[in-house]
Amino acid sequence: MMVPTLKKAKPPPFSGEDTSLAIVNAWIFKIYAHIRASTDEEEKVETAASFLTSMAELWFMAKYASAAWLPTFDEFIQAFKARFTPADDARQLRLSIENMTQGPCSVLEYHTEFQTVISRIGEDVVDMDWARLHFERGLTASIRRHVVINGHLTDSLDDLAALGQRVFDVNR
């Protein structure tokens, strides 16, 4: 009996018309998933470029048409982000993190919301010490005290959320 193989979903085309941070980051995520198995940098960039249309395709052609060689995939993604990520979106998302609070929700719910915004900005560009500081500041006072006292500087946001959730569960 033959075992069917799974077909990888192709990323959607990216035209550059909708440059909201969520759309740009979602496209990048899907491109990474699509080219994950490839080890050839030029092939990765060519594959990603094949999903560009309209303004995005024109940008790629203008940027790399006269280049002696294509950039690495990571360099391409950095240039892509620089061109298609509106600075104002990232600034607004950073402000939302700075003002986000746990409120009446559980620590894990707060962590999920916080992590979603971090992902929308791009985990590769967020200073995690800055993120940790604002995550702790957003916790309710009693949970924040416990997390600051018992947490370690090397703890991830996931670790801090688990620590805070234990206090939240005890106090319910």
Condensed to tens digits (0 to 9), the pLDDT of residues 110-160 reads: 999 999 888 877 777 788 899 999 999 999 999 999 999 999 988 999 999
The residue among 123, 116, 117, 155 whose CA lies nearest residue 136 is 155
Residue with tokens 């919301």: 113
* Whether residue 166 is found in the same domain as residue 92: yes
pLDDT of 100 > 80? The answer is: yes
Mark which of 84, 109, 139 sits at the end of a domain.
84
Q: Is 143 contained in some domain? A: yes
* Whether residue 44 is found in the same domain as residue 119: no
pLDDT of 2 > 80? The answer is: no
Mark which of 65, 84, 103 sits at the end of a domain.
84
Half-sphere exposure of 52 (CA within 13 A, CB side): 20
* Whether residue 100 is found in the same domain as residue 163: yes
Owning domain of residue 114: 87-171
* Whether residue 93 is found in the same domain as residue 164: yes
Res 5: pLDDT? 63
Burial status of residue 71 (CB atoms within 10 A of its CB: 0-12, 13-18, 19 or more): middle
Res 3: pLDDT? 65
| Predicted TM-score (pTM) above 0.95 | no
pLDDT of 88 > 70? The answer is: no
Tens of pLDDT, residues 10-42: 899 999 998 877 788 889 999 999 998 888 999
Q: How many domains would you assign to the chain?
A: 2
